[in-house]
Amino acid sequence: MTENFEKAIREICSGNADDRTRMIDIVREVQQLFGQISGSAMDIIADAVNSHRVEVESVVSFYSFLSEKPKGKFVIRLCNDVIDKMQGVGKVAKAFQEELGINFGESTPDGKFTLEWTPCIGMCDQAPAALVNDKMMTRLSSDSAREIVKSLKENEDEYRLIHMLGDGNNANPLVNSMVSNNIREKGPVIFAKFEAGKAIHKALSMSPVEVIRDIKTARLRGRGGAGFPTGMKWEFTRGAEGDNKVVICNADEGEPGTFKDRTILTEKPDLMFEGMAIAGYAIGAKTGVLYLRGEYAYLRPFLENVLADRRNKKLLGISILGKTGFDFDIRIQMGAGAYICGEETALISSCEGLRGDPKNRPPFPAQKGYLTLPTSVNNVETFCCVAQILDKGAGWFAEMGSTGSTGTKLLSISGDCTRPGVYELPFGTTVAEMLVKAGAEDAYAVQMGGPSGQLIGEADFHRKICYDDVATGGAVMVFNNDRNPLEIAHEFMEFFCEESCGYCTPCRVGNELLKERLQVIINGKGTPDDLDYLEQLGKTISVASRCGLGQTSANPVLTSLKNFRGDYEKLVKENKDGMQRTFDIHKALATGEDLQGRKSVIYAE
């Protein structure tokens, strides 16, 4: 047994070339095989890849899909983001608990099931949703939850849970998923017709510098949310010292409420991979990495197949399309459940087989990125735009959208609306126009750009969706009049507290303090001073945090405070006598009274 155990783990390591930078792949495989990465497994891995136990352990303890303690054969991860809660995840959770006889965070005694909460898994348009091992279960109800458990107990096979397949490639045998695309509006860029190889063919007829010039002429900006000009990023990377360069595609869409990349990965992978190859050509890179979030593991076999197909067509590999000297290939790096890995430097850490800790900047990834090589990290959607720009021309692209924000933007809309799903709209569309399309005319509050974006109200609905006005990475969550902006902000703060990597104090501690004080206000015990406190603390966290997570984590509080101040003011009361309403002397004394065997005289009830 022990010998076999060691042999199996050493085989996994050697399957990954005993390469410590592939640690995430190694531990993922061990987790899958044994349902845990035990201490002795870590020792063996450390020895095999010439690393240290603590290095393996730091990875295992960081990612939520990895665990040192044994997990059940079937791990059910129920999504608890704000949209799932609105769609009734509570009842589903109760059904799972009752059927399995365990609470969240526990495993059944027979080792068959583990029940866990997980943040957004990219299915807000078909919530409530859960992952059963790698399988996506969508549109759950308490009944379907009970059926899932029943079927798993009977058949012990998660593949038999899929009865109805989704539309488009979701029904492809390699995907075999019940997920629906919910593509509601197709635009001229992402969801337009595209012939694989055409764009790269055109790119190869130009020099790399001309390709970058085209991207600059199209004024393409990064689609992940920050909106950095793509051409400029490529130019920096191209100009950086070193012959080996890297292109990374960020498909770690973990921002709650975002699911746009899911539809690209399902329906337009060729477009995305073509964009990556063009980037490789323009920058002078040989290596491409698609960083796929762990939650989307169900898409991996399909994507590997697309890559194999492209290799056959000479669209990847050595001398692409016969061009001597242009060698470029792409590997898929799986994530393992960590929101922070969507931040580009944390993503690079993760690709290198480390904890998803952000890195210090400078040096920027364009100078020293993946394995210290100059690296360009771009969003899935950005690469799609690149391919279309090369195919249809920079002028064609630049004519769409608004001056500062050219082209179209994918928006994933969910929440209180009748038509949730993915919309490809030209930049410059107003929030109000978007709401009409989504069937959300009675929206009270709209979270633009996910928790790290902004919560806006009716006064801002006339504003335009673009980088210079209402910027968004694509997540749009709609809330109607029954929802309380403070509670929405509180939900998001809980998310950030959970996902903070803990490296820097402003983020690790500050977000907890923000959340605490917000709860005080929600409980009706706040004072007007607390609003100033939230504002000051929020600004401190934004300014003093080390990476993008902390720099934006206070946004739910800051923007709801700005745009829904009335909702806050309704709840706070002036503290005239100076006594804190949050302090309960009777509660504070209860244990002491018990232990000291008498009741308080000063504070007799």
Partner 1 sequence: MAKPKIATASLAGCFGCHMSLLDIDDRILKLVELVDFDKSPVDDIKKFTGRIAVGLIEGGCCNEENVHNLQYFRENCDILISLGECAIMGGIPAMRNTIPLKECLDEAYLNGPTVYNPTGKIPGDKELPLILDKVYPCHEVVKMDYHLPGCPPSADLIWQALVALLENKPMDLPYEVIKYD
Positions touching partner 1 (CB under 8 A) are 527, 529, 575, 577-580, 582-583, 585, 587-593, 595-598, 600-603
- Smallest gap from residue 502 Cβ to partner 1 (A): 18
Question: Is the CB of 192 or the CB of 589 nearer to partner 1?
Answer: 589
Q: Is the CB of 243 or the CB of 577 nearer to partner 1?
A: 577
Q: Residue 106: exposed, middle, or buried by beta-carbon count in 10 A (0-12, 13-18, 19+)? A: middle
Q: Report the nearest approach of partner 1 to the CB of residue 577 (Å).
A: 7
Q: Which residue has the tokens 């903070």?
A: 500
Q: Smallest gap, in angstroms, from Cβ of residue 508 to partner 1?
A: 17
Task: Give the burial class of 119: count Cβ atoms within 10 A of its Cβ; 0-12 exposed, 13-18 middle, 19 or more buried.
Answer: buried
Least distance from C-beta 582 to partner 1, angstroms?
7
Q: What torsion do the CA atoms of 201, 203, 206, 209 make, to the nearest 10 degrees?
A: -160
Minimum CB–partner distance for residue 496 and partner 1 (Å): 24
Nearest Cα to Cα of residue 530 among 566, 568, 559 = 568
Q: How far apart are CA 359 and CA 90, in angstroms?
A: 38
Task: For the CB of residue 599, give the shortest distance to partner 1 in the complex, in Å.
Answer: 8
- Contacts of 595 by beta carbon, 8 Å cutoff, 6+ apart: none
Tokens 């290939």 belong to: 329
Q: Which is nearer to partner 1, 1 or 602 (CB)?
A: 602
C-beta atoms surrounding 298 within 10 Å: 20
Contacts of 437 (CB under 8 A, 6+ apart): 184, 185, 419, 423, 425
Extended strands (E) in 73-185: 74-79, 106-107, 113-118, 130-132, 135-137, 183-185
Q: How far is the CB of 601 from partner 1 (least distance, A)?
A: 7
Which residue in 520, 562, 502, 522 sits closest to 538, CA to CA? 562
Q: Which is nearer to partner 1, 40 or 580 (CB)?
A: 580
| Closest distance of CB 486 from partner 1, Å | 21
Q: Of the two residues 246 and 520, which places its CB atom closer to partner 1 in the complex? A: 520
Q: How far is the CB of 509 from partner 1 (least distance, A)?
A: 13
- Shortest distance, position 603 Cβ to partner 1, whole Å: 6
Alpha-carbon distance values, 163 to 125, 148, 240, 268 (Å):
19, 11, 51, 25
Of 27, 29, 82, the C-alpha closest to 353 is 27
Dist. CA 267–CA 169, nearest whole Å: 6
Question: Are the beta carbons of 81 and 72 closer than 8 angstroms?
Answer: no
Phi, psi of 163, rounded to the nearest 5 degrees: -105, -45
Residue placing its CB nearer to partner 1 in the complex, 313 or 581? 581
Q: Which is nearer to partner 1, 305 or 575 (CB)?
A: 575
Q: Are 327 and 370 in contact (CB under 8 A)?
A: no
Based on CB atoms, which residue is closest to partner 1, 233 or 525? 525
Q: How near is the Cβ of 572 to partner 1 at its closest, in Å? A: 14
Shortest Cβ 188–partner 1 spacing (Å):
58
Minimum gap (Å) between residue 586 Cβ and partner 1 = 10
Contact 384, 271 (CB under 8 A): yes
Which of 298, 247, 301 has the alpha carbon at shortest distance from 274?
A: 247
Q: Closer CB to partner 1, residue 14 or residue 505? A: 505
Q: What's the chain's Rg over C-alpha atoms?
A: 25
Contact 181, 168 (CB under 8 A): yes
Separation between Cα atoms, residue 12 and residue 356, nearest integer Å:
22
Report in angstroms how near the CB of residue 346 gets to partner 1 at its nearest: 31
Q: Which is nearer to partner 1, 399 or 593 (CB)?
A: 593
Smaller CB separation from partner 1, 396 or 533? 533
Nearer to partner 1, 163 or 587 (CB): 587
Half-sphere exposure of 460 (CA within 13 A, CB side): 18
Q: Which is nearer to partner 1, 450 or 506 (CB)?
A: 506
Nearer to partner 1, 459 or 579 (CB): 579
Secondary structure (3-state) at 518:
helix
Residue 319 DSSP one-character state: S
- Cα angle for residues 588, 593, 598 (degrees, 5° grid): 150
